[in-house]
Amino acid sequence: MEWLCYTIKTETGAEEAVTAMLAGLGIDSLEIIEADPLTAEDKALLFLAPDAELQPDEAVPEGELQIRFYLHSALDPDEAAAAQEGEDTDDSYTVHDRRYSPEEIYAVETAVESGLRELKAAGFIRDAVMDRGLSREEDWRDQWKKYAQPIEANGILICPAWSEVPDEARARIEKGNLKLLRLEMGTAFGTGAHASTRLCLDGLAALDLKGKSLLDIGTGSGVLALAAFLSGAESVTATEVDPACEAVVYENLRLNHFDGKSSRFRLLMGDILTDPAVQEGAAGTYDVVTANILAPVILKLAAPGAADRYAKPGTVFIGSGIIDARAEEVAQAFAENPAWTGIRIERIGEWAAVTAVRT
């Protein structure tokens, strides 16, 4: 696919003013590029190697800030569909790639350029220039793979399918002191590196999963399902709304020598909150329920008759993908549902997980 790429070049101190102006125009998916690289501590939080180079190919001069956003054109030669209608909603956990008509693109460009002039005239910024270019999916789709590193989490080494297992880890695997989980991510979320996934893995590690059943809502790459199997879970039912994840999940089952056709594993494609077929397929109660999604969806799962319908007394719910600023709100939602007790918040950096136990 092909996107129009817009880069606003301005000074470092102008970030707040420019991003606020763009947000007022409905442009809030931004890439902020600065001259200073991430610190070693920042990289450790992201579970990256300290020497990982994450800066863009082009050099950013000291004191300069680049703010980048993308528009998907309805005239994309690789996409024949018409531009989408309607607004994206905050409580969605699917990706909405809005397609802009030529008239809409012109309107956005004009509005941004006007906004930059107004900020300059008001003294909020010294100067700003907006460049326009093209970004094609094949140019960046697999670039992140060279930064992905094997990650050890609670006795499991999560290793990208294309990476070598480190010698030290291999020796521990051969001795039975470490379990290996091979993972092909494709376009699915769930590498094990993101703090939200790590919070779920930590939550699972605190439980005795031997012989237990798991419902994984929003399974993505299937990393939590596979980690549960490696920890002794007897069965997993996974749900996912993104069609691109289906093939990834079954490939990861194959990579880890699990039979995707086994009665121990079920993948249900669709939204468990709204799709009757998925609700019927997932019917029953489970020992553990995980949902590594987003706060708006987990708030819905906290409501009476949502996640609690799949839980029996003692079932543990682990919800992650929650920005820390919304953690208390999510915890309160579970507290207001008498079906849940023992509510806790765990944090890694700016991300949080909420854990609750079925009464």
Matching residue, tokens 């820390």:
324
Specify which residues 323 forms β-bridges with: 351
Q: Are 178 and 303 in contact (CB under 8 A)?
A: no
Relative to beta strand 179-183, strand 156-160 is parallel
Matching residue, tokens 């991003």:
19
- For residue 218, what pLDDT is reported? 96
Q: Are 121 and 128 in contact (CB under 8 A)?
A: no
Specify which residues 64 forms β-bridges with: 11
- For residue 88, what pLDDT is reported? 41
Phi then psi dihedrals of residue 130, to 5 deg: -110, 120
Q: Are 212 and 233 in contact (CB under 8 A)?
A: yes
Q: pLDDT in tens for each of the 359 residues of the chain? A: 678 999 999 999 999 999 999 999 999 889 998 865 555 555 554 445 445 555 444 567 788 999 999 998 877 665 544 434 444 444 443 444 678 989 999 999 999 999 999 999 999 999 999 999 987 765 555 554 555 678 888 789 999 888 889 999 999 999 999 999 998 865 445 555 678 889 999 999 999 999 999 999 999 999 999 999 999 999 999 999 999 899 999 999 999 999 888 899 999 999 999 999 999 999 999 999 999 999 999 999 999 999 999 999 999 999 999 999 999 999 999 999 999 999 999 999 889 999 999 99
* CATH tag, 148-358: 3.40.50.150
- Indicate the DSSP class of residue 36: S
CATH of 2-140, picked from 3.40.50.2300, 3.30.70.120, 3.60.150.10, 3.40.50.720, is: 3.30.70.120
Q: Are 242 and 268 in contact (CB under 8 A)?
A: no
Closest CA to 113 of 35, 3, 10: 10
Matching residue, tokens 């003013």:
17
- For residue 260, what pLDDT is reported? 80
Specify which residues 21 forms β-bridges with: none
Specify which residues 346 forms β-bridges with: 353
d(CA 359, CA 11): 54
- For residue 184, what pLDDT is reported? 84
- For residue 137, what pLDDT is reported? 62
d(CA 119, CA 127): 9
Structure tokens at 119: 């900020």
Q: Are 313 and 359 in contact (CB under 8 A)?
A: yes
Side-chain half-sphere CA neighbours of 306 within 13 A: 19
Amino acid symbol at 353: A
Q: Are 327 and 347 in contact (CB under 8 A)?
A: yes
Q: Strand (E) positions, the chain?
A: 2-11, 31-34, 64-73, 99-100, 128-136, 151-153, 156-160, 179-183, 213-217, 235-240, 265-269, 286-292, 311-323, 340-348, 351-358
d(CA 9, CA 286): 52
- For residue 186, what pLDDT is reported? 57
Distance of CA 41 to the CA centre of its chain: 21
d(CA 351, CA 233): 26
Domain range annotation of the chain: 2-140, 148-358
Matching residue, tokens 């690789």:
78
Matching residue, tokens 């609670």:
154
Closest CA to 222 of 252, 180, 265, 181: 252
